[in-house]
Amino acid sequence: MLLFAAGKILQTLMVLLIVSAVSFTLLKLAPGDPIQIMLGTEYSPEAYTSLMKQLGLDRSMIEQYLRWLGSFVTGDWGVSYVSKAPIFQFAVVEALPVTLTLAASALALSVLIGVPLGVLAATRRGSIWDAATSVFTLTGTSFPSFYLGILLIWLFGVKFGLFPTMGFVAPWEDFWAGVSHLTLPAITLSIYFLAMIVRMTRANLIEVLEQPYIAAARARGEPNWRVVWVHGLRNILMPLVTILGLQLGALLQGAVLTETVFSLPGVGQMITNAVLNREYGIVQAGVMITACLFITTNLIVDLAYPYLDPRLRPR
């Protein structure tokens, strides 16, 4: 068990290392000379060479990479050219919690609604419910989220005036204001996952309900709700968690678009603004944050398997 976990963690670190190397190379490929940008009007050949030495840009690529990696790991991510603020503070302390709150609420929303809907569709196959959910999963998985967000703003923000349509209020500072600010963005981001979860729950549950152990449970006279919600759900947990881990990338990229629709100051908006301002250091920070989140979540999913399914526990 420990060996298994250690192997997984090592593999994850390996991938992270490669991602960091690729994103470092990308940064080096970026057009524009960072030293010239930093010097601006104070440019002179002497200042140029001294700053180059000071920043270590005269050393070999590998040496630069290792130095960058070292400072990255210790949280020294450099300073933004535009706001002069340290990037780590900006990206991790300010932007990341916004994105995580948004993503977590969307995920919670889609699991809490999606699983019961999927169960309903699976247990009443061929009913109107089933037909309705199949139309919903089809449109939900392919509808462009940013357009959905605008539709929601128009309907609930403008027509009914029910929810605020812009900005972020931290729910841990002002709970109700936070929730009302998060409602529309969370719905926007959750639709794709909701559809995905309904589809996965339905397909897997149909398969599970045909298994012999379900027939055995029924034969023992267990009530239907127990057969479906206990024996059935327990056995679709694995594929569900797997798909959620793999789809986390979609959640993160959906968050980028949703943040722009609702003007939420999260990682997505940070990256977009950085691209427009040509702040490659921040783009790189955003890329690394996304990759870390995605890889770590999948590591957790991998490590959670033995707990979700006792049959997978190494003996």
Partner 1 sequence: MVDIPVDTRLAARRPTRLEGLRALARSNIYFAIASIVVALFILSATFAPLVSPHPPLDQDMAAFMSPPLTENHMLGTDSFGRDLLARTIYGARYALAIGFGAVLIGALGGLIVGVAAGLSGGVTEWALMRFIDALLALPSLIMAIAFISILGQGVDKVILAVGVALIGPFSRTVRADVLQVKAQAFVEAAGLMGVKRLAIIWRHILPNVIFPLAVQATIRVSYAVLVSSGLSFLGIGVAPPTPDWGLMIAEGRSFVSFAPWIAGVPGTALAILLIALSIVGDGVREHFDPKLRKQG
194 is an interface residue for partner 1 by CB under 8 A: no
7 is an interface residue for partner 1 by CB under 8 A: no
The rounded distance, in Å, linking the Cα atoms of 315 and 303 is: 15
18 is an interface residue for partner 1 by CB under 8 A: yes
Q: Which of 15, 35, 51, 113 contacts partner 1 by CB under 8 A?
A: 15
Minimum CB separation of residue 122 from partner 1 in Å reads: 9
Q: Which two tokens stand for residue 111?
A: 């699991």
Nearest to 240 by CA among 311, 143, 308, 191: 308
Q: Are 197 and 115 in contact (CB under 8 A)?
A: yes
Q: Give the x/- contact pattern for partner 1 in 120-149, rule: CB under 8 A.
A: ---x-xx-------x---xx-xxxx-xx--
Q: Between residues 22 and 112, which has the closer beta carbon with respect to partner 1? A: 22
Minimum CB separation of residue 75 from partner 1 in Å reads: 21
The rounded distance, in Å, linking the Cα atoms of 10 and 110 is: 32
Q: Between residues 170 and 238, which has the closer beta carbon with respect to partner 1? A: 238
Q: Which of 274, 285, 299, 301 contacts partner 1 by CB under 8 A?
A: 274
37 is an interface residue for partner 1 by CB under 8 A: no
Q: Specify the stretch interacting with partner 1 by CB under 8 A; choose among 36-44, 168-176, 195-203, 305-313.
A: 195-203
The rounded distance, in Å, linking the Cα atoms of 264 and 252 is: 14
The rounded distance, in Å, linking the Cα atoms of 118 and 163 is: 28
Nearest to 53 by CA among 42, 43, 62, 64: 64
Minimum CB separation of residue 171 from partner 1 in Å reads: 25
206 is an interface residue for partner 1 by CB under 8 A: yes
Minimum CB separation of residue 236 from partner 1 in Å reads: 13
Residue-wise over 60-94: b if at least 16 C-beta within 10 A, else e? eeeebbeebeeebeeeebbbbbeeeeebbebbeee
The rounded distance, in Å, linking the Cα atoms of 55 and 170 is: 37
Q: Specify the stretch interacting with partner 1 by CB under 8 A; choose among 14-22, 89-97, 98-106, 177-185.
A: 14-22
Label residue 33 left, alpha or beta by phi (over 0 means left) and psi (-120 to 50 means alpha). Answer: beta
The rounded distance, in Å, linking the Cα atoms of 154 and 135 is: 23
Q: Is the dihedral of CA 252, 258, 262, 263 positive or negative?
A: positive
Count of other CB atoms within 10 angstroms of residue 274: 22
Q: Give the x/- contact pattern for partner 1 in 151-170, rule: CB under 8 A.
A: x-xx--xx------------
Nearest to 288 by CA among 11, 8, 24, 9: 24
Minimum CB separation of residue 76 from partner 1 in Å reads: 21
The rounded distance, in Å, linking the Cα atoms of 128 and 116 is: 16
Count of other CB atoms within 10 angstroms of residue 28: 14
Q: Specify the stretch interacting with partner 1 by CB under 8 A; choose among 82-90, 167-175, 178-186, 253-261.
A: 253-261
Minimum CB separation of residue 208 from partner 1 in Å reads: 13
Minimum CB separation of residue 150 from partner 1 in Å reads: 5
Residues 279-298 that bind partner 1 (CB under 8 A): 280, 283-284, 286-287, 290-291, 294-295
Q: Which residues in this chain contact partner 1 in the complex, by CB under 8 A?
A: 14-16, 18-19, 22-23, 26, 29-31, 123, 125-126, 134, 138-139, 141-144, 146-147, 150-151, 153-154, 157-158, 199, 202-203, 206-207, 218, 223-225, 228, 249-250, 252-253, 256-257, 260-261, 271-272, 274-276, 278, 280, 283-284, 286-287, 290-291, 294-295
